[in-house]
Amino acid sequence: MHIRVINPNTTRAMTDTIGSAAKAVASPGTLITASQPSCGPVSIESHFDEAVSAVGVLEEVLAGERDADGKGADAYIIACFGDPGLNAARELTRAPVIGIAEAAFHVASLISTRFSVVTTLPRTAIIAEHLLDSYGFSHSCRKVRAADIPVLELEDNPDLALQLIIEECLRAKREDNIGAIVLGCGGMADLTPQITEAVGLPIVEGVTAAVKLAEAVVGLGLGTSKFGDLAFPLPKPFSGSFARYSNLTLD
């Protein structure tokens, strides 16, 4: 089984962190490849960043579908907690495409009746609240909390970032009446053991959750439905810098 893990931003160190975390939980025989777009934001911290990065995500899925052996990946993971371009990416492939936020919410709901989310910035907390609404998990989430750190601090100042995340997780444990915590950023993918030890609650991290869900869905012989709105996009002309998508055929 081949799972292509896509970091939607262009920071190589974060791609490496995400790839290492994914490989650590993958089953024997599962190949993990971690990739990132060649163009886009260095971090994703706004609706604008997400919109721009979504094009890069789609490019990475198309690249995965056209790899050297012609088989494509067995599953794709979008490793940003905003799940940018998720349904558009699903239109491009029969393979399952899993966003790390949706994966983390599902897993947290399986092990607790109430959870909180700890993310990076206050504005990305609002974006996470929108996702909870759209995915149907608002009733399970007690609170979305922000450690108030920029995403790149996870790479540039990891000790301070970890301390602030742990402090916010401990506040959630004391105040939110929860059974689990979801980490709200792909850049936190390697921090689960330290946070779990410090906080003493189940900590759900989206990259690793998505890997195990992808393995399960592929193992069940299931893929993205091509009936209804996730059918392949209709071929049509595109203009300007998007002309390369003209008359796109994928099946």
Regarding whether 194 and 218 lie in a shared domain, the answer is no
Answer yes or no: are the C-beta atoms of 116 and 244 closer than 8 Å.
no
Regarding whether 7 and 95 lie in a shared domain, the answer is yes
- Please state the pTM of the whole predicted model: 0.96
- CA–CA separation, 210 and 26 (whole Å): 10
- CA–CA separation, 56 and 71 (whole Å): 21
**Percent of the chain's residues with pLDDT above 70:** 99
Domain at 200, CATH number: 3.40.50.12500
Whole-angstrom distance between the N-terminal and C-terminal Cα of the chain? 21
Q: What is the mean pLDDT of residues 39-43?
A: 97
Choose among 71, 21, 156, 45: nearest CA to 8. 45
Regarding whether 106 and 195 lie in a shared domain, the answer is yes
Measured CA distances, 1 to 51, 214, 218, 219 (Å): 30, 10, 8, 9
Choose among 83, 141, 146: nearest CA to 108. 141
Regarding whether 92 and 32 lie in a shared domain, the answer is yes
Q: Give the confidence band of 67 by pLDDT, cuts at 50, 70, 90.
A: confident
Any domain includes 72: yes
Total of domains in the chain: 2
Regarding whether 186 and 64 lie in a shared domain, the answer is no
Q: What is the pLDDT of residues 150-184, one digit of tens each?
A: 999 998 999 999 999 999 999 999 999 999 999 99
- CA–CA separation, 161 and 170 (whole Å): 14
Q: Which domain holds residue 52?
A: 2-99+209-245
